[in-house]
Amino acid sequence: MSLLSLGWLLALGGSLLPCSVSEEVVCFSDFDERTGGCGELLGGGVSEEDCCLNIKYSFKRGADAPCQACRPAEWSEWSPWGPCTVSCMEGVQRRDRVCTGQGDCEGNKVEVRACSLQNCCPEDGGWSPWSPWSSCSVTCQDGTTQRSRRCDTPAPQCGGSCAGSSLQTEMCDTKQICPTHGAWGSWGPWGQCSGSCIKEGSGVFPVQHRQRQCNSPPPSRDPPGRPCLQEDQQVRDCTSLPFCPVAGGWGAWNSDSECSVTCGIGRVRERRVCDSPAPKHGGRYCEGPDTRQQMCNTKVGCPVDGTWSQWQPWSPCARLQEDITCTKKVGTQSRKRECEGDKFGGKWCESNHRESRSCYNAEGCRYDENNWSEWSEWGLCSPPCGKSERKRERVCQPVYPDYPETTFTQTGKLVDVFFSGTPRVRCDPINRQTKRVEEKEECKNVIEC
């Protein structure tokens, strides 16, 4: 291990400051998406560029610096929905996600939705009158007597209960003396063995003793109690004493593997054996691990496959040297996407980067009939804390003409035809709105910010 790597590792333990090489980082071979923490330390003294030859890795720029993933920024999976803010009637619950990687993520970090665990809240009941006291639990000296009551006057509703106890206990005195029978106290500790080690091959062991007394409690005299039975002393052989010990010692470290990776940074394993000398007759075994990991750098980037970008918007629906807007004539339109992010010999994106389709140009057209859509689902509560509301909407949608839904291409292939563009719409007014109407509702029991 280099002195530079040793400096970083000591810094992680809190003993020394990190080495003063600003461009070098501490490199890790794992990254936890949920917690944003680094895992599986590889070592320090390498550049950020070398550490991130494998985009699955992560790094820190100092012992107390936050963990950073090598890959581009992306959201983690949403956490499970949290508990409802109330146990009855309506409340809210939230979930969140974490942005990890290089750069910023688009979208919200927190979402909140309405919830209801049950439609009613608990109502407590009332106690019935106490029952009569029971007989004393013993026939001599002091005992107990009890009485009870029921939670049914009235009965609780919706998971409620009655405050207090359903059982009441009091002491009772029989005015009679009970005999006390003797019982053994606990065994005392085993005494020291009569020797400190076993003579190998003799077959004779040292012995040790322990005792107990009849005093837990001692038997009474008037009225007379029974005495303790069985023995008050035990003897056993000291069979676990060791032979004369020989402490073990570690042998030299030896390489035990090749570099664990063929790209980026990996590990080489080294092993040693406790045989210089080997422990004997219960002697202390060597302290510390028998294997260790050393960092190895291939200086080769790991392949990163390309991924498709989002499709670009469809081009305007058109027909060569002819205006087909608001007509029954079929045109074509196309869109494309880009293959991004491939590095170090990674695979190019599969499938096509461009596609086209047949269309009717409806841009700015007016049609005879327009209808309101059904109400959408309620949206998320926004903002996710404090005073929050949710909303839903209806939009005015065109009723397109009854044009043919399919057509034949020049090659004789039958394809679908789509309406493209944004027509002019106007529906019967709702709340004085003719194109879009919105409804809002306050979210209840939202957590404080």
Give the CATH number, domain containing residue 10. Answer: 3.90.290.10
- Cβ-Cβ contacts under 8 Å for 6 (sequence gap 6 or more): none
Q: 15, 42, 74 — which closes off a domain?
A: 74
Please check whether residue 292 is in contact with residue 269, taking contact to mean a CB–CB distance below 8 angstroms.
yes
Contact 441, 389 (CB under 8 A): yes
Cβ–Cβ under 8 Å, residues 81 and 92: no
Q: Which residue, 74, 99, 127, sits at the end of a domain? A: 74
Helix, strand or coil for residue 186?
coil
417, β-bridge pairs? 358
Tell me the mean pLDDT per 10 residues along the chain, length 449.
34 35 79 86 90 92 88 87 88 88 87 87 88 86 89 87 90 83 88 82 83 88 84 87 82 86 89 89 87 88 92 94 92 95 90 93 92 94 91 95 90 92 93 93 89
Establish if 365 belongs to a structural domain: yes
DSSP state of 17: P
Question: Which domain covers residue 47, as residue numbers?
Answer: 3-74
Quick one: pLDDT at residue 11? 35
Question: Cα dist. 352→90, 356, 359, 378, 414 in Å?
Answer: 49, 11, 20, 37, 20
Which distant-in-sequence residues (6+ apart) come within 8 Å of 13 by Cβ? none
Domain boundary among 49, 74, 99: 74
Which pLDDT score is estimated for 201?
Answer: 67
| Predicted TM-score of the model (pTM) | 0.49
Say how many domains are in the chain: 2
Q: Which residues contact 177 (CB under 8 A, 6 or more apart)?
A: 140, 141, 223
C-beta of residue 280 within 8 angstroms of C-beta of residue 29: no
Q: What is the pLDDT of residue 10?
A: 34
Could you tell me if residue 102 is inside a domain? no
For residue 434, how many other CB atoms are within 10 A of its CB? 14
Please check whether residue 316 is in contact with residue 332, taking contact to mean a CB–CB distance below 8 angstroms.
no
DSSP H/E element including 167: strand 167-173
Q: Are 56 and 32 in contact (CB under 8 A)?
A: no
Q: What does the pLDDT read at residue 257?
A: 86
Residue 399 placed within a domain: yes
Q: State residue 9's pLDDT score.
A: 35
Q: How far apart are CA 237 and CA 208, in angstroms?
A: 7
Q: Identity (one letter) of the amino acid at 74?
A: E
Is 82 within the bounds of a domain?
no
CA 90/CA 116 separation, integer angstroms: 5
Residue 402 identity: D
- CA 89 to chain CA centroid, nearest Å: 29
Instruction: Kindly state whether residue 322 falls inside one of the protein's structural domains.
Output: yes
Distance CA 348, CA 305 (A): 6
Q: Is residue 45 part of a domain?
A: yes
> Which of 277, 276, 259 minimizes the C-alpha distance to 268?
259
Q: Is residue 270 part of a domain?
A: no
Q: Are the beta carbons of 44 and 3 closer than 8 angstroms?
A: no
Q: How far is CA 264 from CA 7, 302, 345, 386, 401, in A?
A: 22, 6, 14, 47, 60
User: CB neighbours (10 Å) of residue 369?
Assistant: 10
Any domain includes 101: no
pLDDT at residue 401, rounded to an integer:
93
For residue 10, what is the enclosing H or E element?
helix 3-13
CB-CB contact of 253 with 270 (8 Å): yes
Whole-Å CA distances, 256 to 5, 205, 266, 270: 21, 45, 14, 5
Identify the pLDDT of residue 281.
81
